[in-house]
Structures are given as structure tokens and as C-alpha cells.
Structure 1
Amino acid sequence: MAVIALAGGLGAPGVTTTAMALLMTWPLEPGRRVVLAECDPDGGAILPGALQGTVANTYGLRNLALAGRQGQLADAFWRQLVDVTDAASHDRLVLPGIYDPAHASSLAPVWDQLATLFAGIEQHHHDVLVDLGRRGAFGPSAVLAKRADVVLMVARNTLRGLQSAQVRLGALREQLGGAAEIGLVLVEAGPFGREEIQRHLGAEVVAVLPWQPEHAAVLSDGAAQPRRFESGELIRAARTATTRIRQMVATRRSRLGWPTGAGGREVSGAR
């Protein structure tokens, strides 16, 4: 079980789309679940995007602000999750983000509580993907990155995208101080190759996702699935990425002397 944080840089590199792809392809043994928590302080995109407004904005992160102040976040969290599976299996869940960036200030006391919750949620057979957007790996919500097992920087392999990634990777390394494994997820929209990028940025490229706007729109905007979407290159690349990400989690926990299946941490109220 693991906590994976995803962050981005300038422009729209595809953090939420990548997080959704990992959510839908994350390997689950019987009884296991995976949660995508949309913690982007600039506002969430899943409710109006992938879910196409089919779920009321009464669900989500902003409702945890009051619960956090009242010491009830661990219980309230579970009531804010939305099942995104067609079969209503409740094993792939989303915590929708705030819909107004102005609400981010009210969440300042909540980030640390959420980080603690995520760190202990694996005891209850959950993995967590945390969408931090462009700014969330820094500032008040940075604790979510600091407490993660793996932090993935999502970037397009264009000059603009890689320059932004280089600056943010440097800041992440300084901020995390080796607390989490750091990797890159590339969206193949430019001319630079995997090996060249790894050498230049000094970070492992965990996955290269194809530039397929029609397929990506299914995950970002709830568009109709094109033919062979589930067996297409984008989903195959995301599924392959999950294997490497889980290996990175195991590496980190081995380095810290933790069991690879659990971090030895628990939080009350999770279920």
C-alpha cells in the first residue's frame, strides 16, 4: 500500500489526466481500494471534467475544512468519496477538489491532518494518489508531498515543459531532503527523448505517456471512449507505470527499514 503524490509545472502538463489514468489502472487485489485525492489549491477539475457534473459539488475537499477544525476529519473523509467505476464496485474512489481557489485558504489547517490520514490509510487496504496540481507540492499543502512515498513530476517533453520541470525538481529535492522517491512522468508532446531527459534532469523517467488528446479527453473531460480505449497505448503506458511506481515505494520503505506492505503507521477513524 502506498501514497503517491503527483505535481506539475507551467502550463497544463496533464497532472489530473495522469492521476486519473493511474487510478483506473492501479492493480487491486481482492479487498483493496485506491483513492485519488484532488488536492490542487488552484481548484479541482474532476467534478466538471471526468465526472461531467453528474455528482453535486456538495462532495469533496472543501467539506473537510470544518470537520478538520472540529477534530472529525478522519470520519468525514469517507463520506466525501465518489465511486468512479461503472460497476459501482467502490474500489476506485475520488475525493473531489475545491471548485473555487478562494477556498484554499480555509484548508491550511487541514493539509497536515490529511497527510496523517493518508499515511495511515494503507492499514485499511487503500492506496492513495494525491493530485497536487501546479502549486500544491509547495506552500501550505507541501506536507502532502513530504509525507508521500513517491512524488512524480508530470511534464511534457518540450523545452518549456522541461525547463519548468528542472526548476521544480530542484525545489522538490531541497524541500523533501530524500524523504520521498522522486520520478518523472513525461507526456510525449515534444522532441526530447527519455534517456536525454534523465541525464539532463538527473531524475528517473518512470513513464512516458503518449500524446493522444482524444484518449486523454476521456480521463480529463469525460469524453466518449474512442475505439479500443482500454487497450490503447495511453492506458497500457499507465498500467506499466504502476509496476515501476510500486517498486519505488518498496525501495523507499526498504531504505527506511519499513515493511514494504505497510508503513507501520495508523490513524484512528479510517475504515
Structure 2
Amino acid sequence: MPVIALVSAKSCGVTVSALALALASSRPSVLAECDPAGGTVRAGYLQNSVDGGFGLYHLAAAERVGPDALANAVASSLWPMDAAGHRKLLPGLTDPTQAPALERTWPALADILHVLAEDAGYNVFVDGGRLAFGAGRLHPVLSPAPLLHRADLVLLVVRGTTQSLALARNVIDPLRAEFDESASTTSLGLLLLEEGEFPAHQVSTALRTPVLAALPWDPDTAGYLTRGGKPPRGYERSPLLRHARSAAEQLEAVAQRRRVQQEWPARRSYPQLAGVVQRLAQTSRGGRRG
């Protein structure tokens, strides 16, 4: 299964899009909130049901102990978002000042996310937040750069509006140049939120980047995913979730085709992370375990 990272030039629905994809995925899924500016799913969609003892910040200390400690910390921090435990959240930071502690943790976390995708069979969605650059490159503290370099797909989330396209133009060229310069195997594409006057083909032409998936403008469902509370009527059949399921399948197919076309070398083996797969298999039965 693929690791798919979502980012934006500015606040553009990254978290709602990533959450919709994870919830609607036909396969088990993990949403990793890796925005250095802080996560919002804990306080929004999950209505503060997850306390500060779980989440991204605690991985930094575990990583300094070693790979086993980090793998166990990730498995312990994955929080179920459905009754069956098939959709899991790695909650994000509660305080942006915690972000510098994660700079050396991102590469090891990237390894674990790929184990979850390739060994445990999860669709992994990474909320990378707003792109931040320094000296023309992804900022090492204000962006989860190693996660983006290691992702199978990186999706720049845009709306079909003049403002959104103008902002996207400022970041997509340096992002593409960085991937090219580093010989990254990441594929760069667009996720279009269908708000505004520009359809997919015009957005793709304007940004010289393919639109790999699109989600409809659905304020009621998006509001529920943002704030939580009582779901709107017809939530399970809402346009956003129906299209998100199709989009997740499309993105998985894109990633698989690209693996074949690129004839990627065999992935690295992480035998020290085998325990995380077993832990996930246990916690996926019947939801979270104490």
C-alpha cells in the first residue's frame, strides 16, 4: 500500500482532505498528523477524546532510545477513529514549539510509515500541513521534509480559484526542483478541491502538474470533519466521503503503476520494526486496547 503525503501552499483543506481519505478508504488506513504547526484532529473531529499522552511529540524521546522503542511508541500512539479500529490516527503536535524536537525523528518515522504501508497493509496518509521553505529548500523544522522525500505520492492540495492557483505557483516549482535535485522517487501531483471557477484540466495546465484526484466542495461534511460533534444527515453517503473513497483507490492505483514503470529497486528491510506489525494486528481487533 502507498504512503501519500498531502501539503498546501496555505490553509487549503489539507487536514479535512487527508481525514476524508483515511475514513473513506476501502482498506485499513492510518492518518499521520505531521504538520509542524500542530494537529487539529484531536481537538476537532475526535472532540478531545485523545489526551496529550499520545501522539507525535512522544516519538522524539523514543527515537533517541532506538528503533524498537520508536516502533512501540508509534504502535501505542495510534488511536482508532472507528469502532472496529481499522482507521487509525497518529495525533499531531499540541504545541508548535515542540516541532524542533522532531527534526531528527522524521527519517525514522518515515521508515515506520512504510512498514505500516508495505508490511501491515495500511493506506498511510500524511498531513504535512503548509509548505515552508528556507534558502529555496524545504525548511528542516517547519516542514516534515524527510517524510515528503520518502512518500510514494506528494499531493499539493489546491482549490479551483485564482487565489489558490497563485499561491500554489509559488511553491510547486521549488518543491519539484528539490525532488529532482535529490533524485527522490516521490511522485508529485495535485489534489483538487472543486471550489471555484477552474476545472481540473485548467488547474493542471496552470500548474504544469497532473491532477491525480479531486474532491467535491461539501461544506457540511467538511465542517463535521473539522469540528466533530453530531454528523450531518446522510453523512455516510455524503459527496465528500463517496468521492474520497474513489480518490483513495485512484491514488493507490497511481502509486502501484509508478512502482512498475520505474522498476523501483527492492525496498529496504527493517527487521527491527517487525514488532509494530504484530502490535497493529492486535489493536486492530476490537478497537483500542488498554
Same fold (TM over 0.5): yes
2-structure distance, mates of 1:266, 1:92: 25
1:2 corresponds to 2:2: yes
2-structure distance, mates of 1:168, 1:255: 27
1:151 corresponds to 2:154: yes
| Amino-acid identity (%) | 37
- Partner secondary structure for residue 119 of structure 2: helix
2-structure distance, mates of 1:116, 1:27: 24
Counterpart for residue 131 of structure 1: 127
Give yes or no for contact 2:194–2:214 (8 Å, CA) kept in 1. Answer: yes
Where does structure 1 lack aligned partners over 5 or more consecutive residues?
Answer: none
Counterpart pick for 1:63 among 58, 64, 89: 58
1-structure distance, mates of 2:251, 2:216: 18
Give yes or no for contact 2:22–2:123 (8 Å, CA) kept in 1. Answer: no
Counterpart for residue 244 of structure 1: 250
Q: What is the Cα-based RMSD across aligned positions, in Å?
A: 1.7
1-structure distance, mates of 2:254, 2:58: 33
Counterpart pick for 2:40 among 45, 54, 58: 45
1-structure distance, mates of 2:139, 2:261: 27
- Partner secondary structure for residue 215 of structure 2: strand
Counterpart pick for 2:81 among 80, 84, 96: 84
Written as runs of structure 1 = structure 2, the 5 A alignment for 1:1-271 is: 1-10=1-10, 12-28=11-27, 33-71=28-66, 72-85=69-82, 87=83, 89-121=84-116, 122-135=118-131, 138-140=138-140, 141-177=144-180, 179-258=185-264, 264-267=267-270, 268-269=272-273, 270-271=276-277
2-structure distance, mates of 1:97, 1:131: 9
1-structure distance, mates of 2:31, 2:132: 15
Paired AA for residue 127 in structure 1: N
Moved more, 232-241 or 172-181: 172-181
Offset at 1:93? 0.3
1-structure distance, mates of 2:146, 2:112: 12
Paired AA for residue 24 in structure 1: L
2-structure distance, mates of 1:73, 1:25: 28
Give yes or no for contact 2:150–2:186 (8 Å, CA) kept in 1. Answer: yes
Q: TM-score, normalised by structure 1?
A: 0.91
2-structure distance, mates of 1:39, 1:194: 27
1-structure distance, mates of 2:202, 2:101: 42
Q: TM-score, normalised by structure 2?
A: 0.85
1:102-130: per-residue Cα shift (whole Å, max 9, x none)? 00011111011111212233212223111
- Partner secondary structure for residue 99 of structure 1: coil
Going from structure 1 to structure 2, the CA distance change for 1:223 and 1:266 (only over 3 Å counts) comes to farther
Where does structure 2 lack aligned partners over 5 or more consecutive residues?
Answer: 278-290
- Partner secondary structure for residue 236 of structure 2: coil
- Partner secondary structure for residue 68 of structure 1: helix
Give yes or no for contact 1:209–1:237 (8 Å, CA) kept in 2. Answer: yes
Offset at 1:258? 4.1
Counterpart for residue 282 of structure 2: none
Number of corresponding residues: 261
Offset at 1:206? 2.1
- Partner secondary structure for residue 130 of structure 1: strand
Give yes or no for contact 1:15–1:154 (8 Å, CA) kept in 2. Answer: yes
2-structure distance, mates of 1:61, 1:131: 12
Give yes or no for contact 1:119–1:265 (8 Å, CA) kept in 2. Answer: no
2-structure distance, mates of 1:203, 1:193: 14
1-structure distance, mates of 2:32, 2:132: 12
